[in-house]
Every structure is written in structure tokens, then in C-alpha cells.
Amino acid sequence: MGKSEKPMPEHVAIIMDGNGRWAQARGKPRLFGHHAGALRVREIVEACPEMGVKYLTIFAFSTENWKRTQSEVSGLMKLFKRYLMSETKQLVEANIRVRFIGDRMKLDDTLVALMDELELLTSHNDLVHLTVALNYGGRDEVARATKRMCREVAEGTLDPESVDAETLARRLDTYVLPDPDLVIRTSGEARISNFLLWQSAYSEYEFVDTLWPDFTRDEFARILSGYNQRERRFGAVPG
């Protein structure tokens, strides 16, 4: 495919980093930055349809984020609950399908109930597929999928000789999603921090200095059109 024919990315994943620094620069508590970050989530989700982005996956809380102070963790959990409650109607009406990936076992029951409800209420939507990674870690996800395969082998429903990459991919939290075409990380850090490790094997990466609460739809649009200029080869020699 020639460069000019290259489509916009269908699946974009975002590591929303820099909320804490954004707040600190304003002399405010870190949670103030997370609240500002939540407003950006809405703006970026709303921008997806016109930009041709069918799948958007966002990193909201990692398996490592429990190491933050207790007050930040509980503030974030409260924010997620409030956000899910206040955005439900809008997400349903805007034809957005919401899914969550990550381990729900450690999350509190009220939050999990809200997540289940939102998944159910939006299950017939299909304009944009929004996936929220909550208590998500790439290694943890691969470990959980591997545990599932081991159980199936022990139960005699999976032949170890038949196991290949697809066998594992089908057991990941993301089994219904295509792999991301583009992964964006804000705030100037060039790391992937355990996000979609398996799925991003051939993704493009874009690291931008902007802190997440300052990330606008215009910057999103600029990055997407930049992607359009690049060529992805999936390891092959260009033809």
C-alpha cells in the first residue's frame, strides 16, 4: 500500500500520563489533575468518530498504581465511580460501546457493579469501542491467560501441542479487539509501562510532551495525520 493510501489508525491506545505534574505546577493536589484528565477523556472519545478511530483504549489505572498513597488511590477510585455514573447516559446515547480490561478481583464491589452495568447498557452500541484499562497490567494479563490455558490442559480440554500465539491471544482480556495501530503516551516519558505488551508488538508509538490534562482534540488530530504519513511493515521488506 502506498503512503497516500494508508488509512487512519483504526485502533488507538493512550497512556494518559502527567495529571499529577499538571496539578502540582498549579499548586494543587494531584487529584485535581486527575479530575482535569477525566474531562479530556470525554473530549477525545467524542473526537473519535470524525477521525475514523473505531477503537480507543485508555490506561486509567495500572496494577502498579496501588503503590501510590492511599488517599490518591481512594480518590481515583471515587473519581472512576463518579465518572461512570455521570457519563453513562451520554455514552449510551452517543452509541459508544464501553468495555473494561484488567483484573476486577481487587476492585471494590460498587465499582465493579458500575462497570458491569455500563458494559451491559452499551453492549448494542457500535460507533466507537471504548476500552478502559482498570487495574490492568500487560504481564498480569498474560499470566492470567496462561493460568487459564494450564487449567484447560489439566482438565483435558486443551491439547498442549496445539498451543500457539493465537491460543494465548484468545484468552487475553482484549480477545475481541484488534491490536492497536498506534499507542500514544503523553507527558514526555518514553516508556510503555506494562500497557498492552502482547498486543502492541507491531504498533506505532508516539510520545508527546503534553501533559494529559492539556491534550486537546487538535493535538490528537495532528498525531493521527502524522501516522497517516508513516508506513507500517509488520517486519516485512517494503514492496
Nearer to ligand FPP, 73 or 197 (CB): 73
Q: Given 3-state DSSP classes, what are the helix, strand and coil percentages for the chain, each rounded to the nearest 5? A: 50, 15, 35
**Can residue 115 be called a binding residue for ligand FPP (CB under 6 A)?**
no
Q: With contact defined as beta carbons under 8 Å apart, do 166 and 179 qualify?
A: no
The stretch near ligand FPP (CB under 6 A) out of 10-18, 94-102, 104-112, 144-152 is: 10-18
**Can residue 137 be called a binding residue for ligand FPP (CB under 6 A)?**
no
Residues 139-198 binding ligand FPP (CB under 6 A) are 187
**Can residue 20 be called a binding residue for ligand FPP (CB under 6 A)?**
yes
Decide if 65 is catalytic. yes
Nearer to ligand FPP, 30 or 171 (CB): 30
Residues 64-93 binding ligand FPP (CB under 6 A) are 65, 80, 83
- Residue among 19, 65, 108, 135 flagged as catalytic: 65
CA angle 6–198–135, rounded 5-degree value = 115
Q: How many residues does the chain have?
A: 239
Q: At what angle do helices 30-51 and 70-93 cross, to 10 degrees?
A: 30
Q: At what angle do helices 109-121 and 70-93 cross, to 10 degrees?
A: 20
CA angle 225–98–231, rounded 5-degree value = 25
Residue 54: which of 125, 128, 130 has the closest Cα? Answer: 128
Count of residues near ligand FPP by CB under 6 A: 19
The stretch near ligand FPP (CB under 6 A) out of 19-27, 46-54, 107-115, 176-184 is: 19-27
**Can residue 135 be called a binding residue for ligand FPP (CB under 6 A)?**
no
Residue 225: which of 53, 75, 106, 107 has the closest Cα? Answer: 53
**Can residue 19 be called a binding residue for ligand FPP (CB under 6 A)?**
yes
**Can residue 16 be called a binding residue for ligand FPP (CB under 6 A)?**
yes
Decide if 95 is catalytic. no
Structural Rg of the chain based on CA atoms: 18
Nearer to ligand FPP, 16 or 145 (CB): 16
Residue 200 to residue 205: CA distance in whole angstroms: 9
Residues within the interface to ligand FPP (CB under 6 A): 16-21, 30, 34, 37-38, 41, 58, 60, 65, 80, 83, 132, 187, 212
